[in-house]
Structure formats: C-alpha cells, structure tokens
Amino acid sequence: MDHFPEGESALIIPGPEGDLEAVTTGPKSDPDGPGNVTIACHPHSLMGGTMNNKVVHTVARARRDMGHRVIRFNFRGVEKSQGAFANGVGEQEDLLAVIDWVRQVRPDDNIYLSGFSFGSYVAAAGCLRAVKRGDPIRHLLLIAPAVENFAFDILNRFPCPLSVVYGDADEVVSSEAMAQWAGNVQSPKQIYCLSGAGHFFHGRLTEVKSILSNEAGV
C-alpha cells in the first residue's frame, strides 16, 4: 500500500521475517501539511500480547483524538505476522520496518513511538536505533515499562522527550524499579504514577487516556 488509509484499516507491511499484520487509524480531522504518526507496540508476544491489547487500544484512541494517524501492529510470530519470537531484538527490526513504511507513505510527518510492557522495551531500544540510522523520533511514550525483564539499564538517555505511565500497585513489574529507572533518565520527561493501578490498568484506562490526551507538547 502506497498511502496511509483513512478511517481504520487492516493491512500487511513487509517485515524482515515476512508479513507484519497491522491496523491503521486515521484522525477525525486531517490537518493541513505535515502531521503526526503514532506507532504503538504491544506487550509480550508469548504471554498473549497482541496489537488488540486494551492499553494499546487506549493509546490509539487518545492519539487519534489528538489528530494523529496511528498504526499498531503484531510483532513477528503473533497472529498473522510471520516469523518467530526474538526476545525483543528481532521485534525492534519489526518496528524499524514499520517506521520505514511510515516514511514511505508519510515522509514529512513526525513519528511518535509508544509501547506497553514488553512493547516499551522494543519502543525504547527501537527509538535509539531509528535515530542512529537517521530517522528522527518526536516523542517516546512508555507504559508500565518492563524495566526488570529487559536491558533498560543501558537505555538512560533519549534524543526526544519521554513520557512514562505506571501504576504503584503493578503486580508484574516493581513500581519502585520503574520509578527509579524513569527518574534516572537524562532526557526531558514527564512521569505519571496512578495510585492503586495494576500492570494492566483494569478499571483505570479512562484515566490513562485522560493523561495521554493532556500531555504537554504532544
């Protein structure tokens, strides 16, 4: 496909290990000139994570309502995406392939990256790889970042503003570890902690959407 579809559309994007299944969402109103594209990364592929995760959907709706185009996609080995799980490394290649597609169809748009849980590692590491190869990233959003499970210790500076959203009752990742990591990042940042919220933000997604909809500078 040589354009970004209007409305909500399913499509296949060429990936490094074969097809990548994706869904695009267009903004309610299309601004003149260059716009913004948010790419959303889903949670752990081997633990039921897909692009249809509720937190990923929440990101997509919030950014759509802000006038962004949004693309969420399944990592390799998930549903119709080809390939096999690659522990976050191959998944970064998948993300870079999606960025390539966005650059092809919307070459002048700003790219925003987001990730939830495992997807936060892919988005964070992928952000640095994208910038290194010459693709600027406007903003990075990490929700419940899996700081205890992946090499976040070397991800301590980003070339764009960072937003982190987590709950202090997270039952999967230590909230203290997330707070410490986020506090140590040497980049412009906004950190949001939802009191009493767990890893999947059950019953709290309206609050998450409100935070994302009111982020300064996004």
- pLDDT, residue 3, reads 84
Longest dimension (CA), the chain: 45
Instruction: With H, G, I as helix, E, B as strand and everything else as coil, classify residue 90.
Output: helix
- pLDDT, residue 216, reads 62
* Rg of the chain, C-alpha, whole Å: 16
Average per-residue pLDDT in the chain?
Answer: 95
- pLDDT, residue 5, reads 85
End-to-end CA distance of the chain: 28
What is the Cα–Cα distance from 11 to 23, expressed in whole angstroms? 6
Name residues whose C-beta falls within 8 Å of residue 193's C-beta, 6 or more positions apart in sequence. Answer: 166, 167, 168, 175, 179
What is the Cα–Cα distance from 194 to 165, expressed in whole angstroms? 8
Question: Which pLDDT band, with edges at 50, 70 and 90, does 33 fall under?
Answer: low
Question: Which pLDDT band, with edges at 50, 70 and 90, does 80 fall under?
Answer: very high
Residue located via tokens 């799980």: 85
pLDDT tops 80 at residue 74? yes
Instruction: With H, G, I as helix, E, B as strand and everything else as coil, classify residue 183.
Output: helix
Question: Which pLDDT band, with edges at 50, 70 and 90, does 28 fall under?
Answer: confident
What is the Cα–Cα distance from 135 to 119, expressed in whole angstroms? 19
DSSP string, 159-199: SS-EEEEEETT-SSS-HHHHHHHHHH--S-EEEEEETT--T
Name residues whose C-beta falls within 8 Å of residue 112's C-beta, 6 or more positions apart in sequence. Answer: 36, 37, 38, 39, 63, 68, 137, 138, 139, 140, 141, 218
Q: What percent of the chain has pLDDT over 90?
A: 90
Tokens of 26: 């267009």
Residue located via tokens 């902690």: 193
Q: What is the DSSP letter of 154?
A: G
> In terms of pTM, does the model score above 0.75?
yes
Q: pLDDT by residue (tens digit) across 94-124? A: 999 999 999 999 999 999 999 999 999 999 9
pLDDT tops 80 at residue 31? no
What is the Cα–Cα distance from 45 to 133, expressed in whole angstroms? 26
- pLDDT, residue 194, reads 98
Higher per-residue pLDDT: 34 or 33: 34
Order of strands across the sheet that contains 189-194: 8-15, 18-25, 69-73, 36-41, 110-116, 139-143, 162-167, 189-194
